[in-house]
Chains A and B, each alone.
Chain A
Amino acid sequence: MVRTLRAFAGWRMGFAVTFGVGLFIANVIVTPSFVTGGQLAVSAGTLAPFALAAMASTPAFLSGGGGIDLSITPLMALSNIVLVTGLLGTTLGTPLLAIPLLLIMGALVGATNGIIIARFRFPPVIATLGMFFMLSGLDLALVPNPVTAPHAWIDSLADTIGPVPGALLTIGVPLLIWGVLRRTPLVSKILSVGDNAPASFSAGVNVDAVRILAYSIGGLLAALGGIALSGLIQSADTTSYTGYTVSALAAVALGGTNLAGGRGGLLPSAVGAVCIYLLDNLLTGLNVSSDYVQVAYGAVLVVAVVLGTAVINRSRAVLA
């Protein structure tokens, strides 16, 4: 019994999973329609862009060195804008062409962040905050007013594709790919650089290349998040992402990813995002003002970060 408890305390996602299950039960009690009446696909569609924002924020943290990517949310909006106003309705608008194009665009923006941070040694906060403002400026210049999307394949992303909820694809496929990559040196190099960059460098790892790769993966996931967002809001809108910036970081911290680098993954962040979504849903169901929902995000973020750091310090102490 004690051993089971100890193993559970050592499980990084333990807190988030427990919290999530509790929130789910509370949600079912407050709004029973939450599980009945075929709402699940729609709920998952609402969750998908947010979960992807949290997942996209994760690789920058994993790669360490004070890593953070604040430019994820305006990049999602850019992907949404390019898809809705630039690609849909043209010959490039088919899923097989549009999706790869957007993913490449996202990865290139992420790589630019990575190069500024790794090669030119800018602090990640500054580099990505600068990118945040440049991208939001670009978003605003491209779409000063919201533009409605034409009916297209994106509609089913927030609903179902045949019998499968679209969100299962947008969230599930990257998780699956990451799970496979986890068994390869690629992800373990990111974690190794994040845990101790000088040691990884001494062991022959190309630290700069690994960090650039981490930011590129983040950018790619952000672009995917933009596609999921297009399915949800059915329009191109620059104001759609403002709520995600703090709550995506809260989801990462809640999931148990170490914000100083080296420990964590995409699945914990997705679980953290589910928790935040359930919390949001519960507070809305209880008619709590949206101002207090923001307060709740902030409080969850502080508590999760402090608890997370306390756990890490304890495990370090045990090792030493």
Chain B
Amino acid sequence: MTPLATHEVSADTPTSQTDARTARAQGLRRLVDGTPVLQLVVLIIVFIIAATTISGFLSKSSIYSVLVLAAFLGIAAAGQTLVILIGGLDLSVASIISAADLVAPVLMGAHWSPGIAIPVVIIGGAAIGALNGFIVRRWRVSPLIVTLAMGGIVYGVALAGTDSGLKPGIMPEWLTRFSSPIGTTFGIGIPPVVIAWAVLAIVLGVVLHRTITGRRVYATGANQRAADLAGISTLRVWVGAFALSGAVAAATGVLLDGFISAASTGAGSPYMFTSLAAVVVGGTSLVGARGDYWRTVLGALILTLITTILIGHGAGEALEEAAYGFLILVFVGVYGRERRVRDQV
């Protein structure tokens, strides 16, 4: 008997006992898939662990530090969320962050006012992302390979153009205050970058859930061919999602300039894995079309808290990476697994 036939038989004659069990399993499945309840529970647990085992964690300054670091990660992963929703993957995020981090101060040092230099860097990031999306969708090539290669190109050019970051640059003081955990927004004692992140989260959430653009993103991720036939230009959706990813990556690079008060080589490299991890841990499925940006916000908070706990207990870089790897495997196990080959027949 072929496996296919076995399936048909069991579907035709279910016993009442297995019926009840599958109903309960499906109910749990729907809860975990439909709401970020798992993420909230994990977030609360890691917060309690941090609060009880790290002395001084509950002070205002250390909470703001965590929020600022989470904001960098959350902003960097915003485009990645959209790219994963449409069924792609962007591995150029880290390189674009590093490149923007190097280039922005040099442009400002070359007598460009920050009001021109920073938008130019962000638009440049968007253009690189748009090119990624265009190449991938137009020629149906693996997004993984194209974005990895494009990242290498962009970072190489940025290194060569800035003498590996040694070319002198200028950092406006307001940028440092913008990214600082002790910064204030219009007199309110909340760091501006955290406010910016919250605004981004609200805007992206509304766009994804309440606008036609959002519908197009989910439709493209669910079934590219059906979306195309329904009159959606999936090429435009791909170009747009990757362009956003490039733009927010470039913006993160500029924000990191402010945070460290200097350009540094490889500033973006931690974000290659974590921008992906924040999305996946948030519960957005790598298969596409399931998830949203608010989940990524939770993912960014969870990952930043875990890093804080590991650093607080003196764990090295090696253990930190291993912990990320483990977490990703657990969450992908819940959300992102592929179909059995026998179900694809």
Contact = CB atoms under 8 A, between A and B. Distances in A.
A99 interface: no
A8 interface: no
B338 A121 contact: yes
A173 interface: no
A129 interface: yes
A298 B150 CA distance: 6
A176 B339 CA distance: 36
Interface stretch (B111-119, B134-142, B208-216): B134-142
A208 B338 CA distance: 13
Contacts of A11: none
A91 interface: no
B89 interface: yes
A249 B147 CA distance: 12
Contacts of B145: 249, 253, 259, 301-302, 305
B329 interface: yes
Interface string B116-153: 00000000000000000001000111101110111111
Contact of B153 (A125, A298, A306): A298
Interface string A299-320: 1011001100110010000000
Contacts of B280: 126
Interface stretch (B23-31, B38-46, B48-56, B319-327): B319-327
A197 B345 CA distance: 8
B164 interface: yes
Interface string A49-73: 0000000000000000110100000
Interface residues of A, number: 49
B278 interface: no
Contacts of B142: 66, 259-260, 305
Contacts of B155: 294
A123 B336 contact: yes
A136 B344 CA distance: 35
B286 A126 contact: yes
Nearest to A289: B160
Nearest to B280: A126
A292 B161 CA distance: 10
Interface in A94-137: 116, 120-123, 125-127, 129-131, 133-134, 136-137
Instruction: Tell me if A's interface is mostly helix, strand, loop or mixed.
Output: helix
Contacts of A66: 142
A141 B316 CA distance: 9
A137 B328 contact: no
A198 interface: yes
Contact of A137 (B152, B153, B319): B319
Contacts of B341: 197-198, 201, 207-208
A305 B328 contact: no
A68 B345 CA distance: 22
A250 B149 CA distance: 8
A246 interface: yes
Given A68-B144, A125-B144, A141-B318, A302 B342 contact: no
B159 interface: yes
A138 interface: yes
Interface string B187-229: 0000000000000000000000000000000000000000000
8 contacts: A129-B276, A249-B145, A291-B164, A294-B155, A301-B152, A302-B150, A305-B149, A306-B139
- In order of increasing CB-CB distance, the 4 nearest A-B pairs are A298-B152, A137-B318, A301-B149, A295-B156
Given A126-B328, A133-B321, A136-B321, 6 more contacts: A65-B338, A122-B329, A125-B89, A126-B332, A302-B149, A306-B141
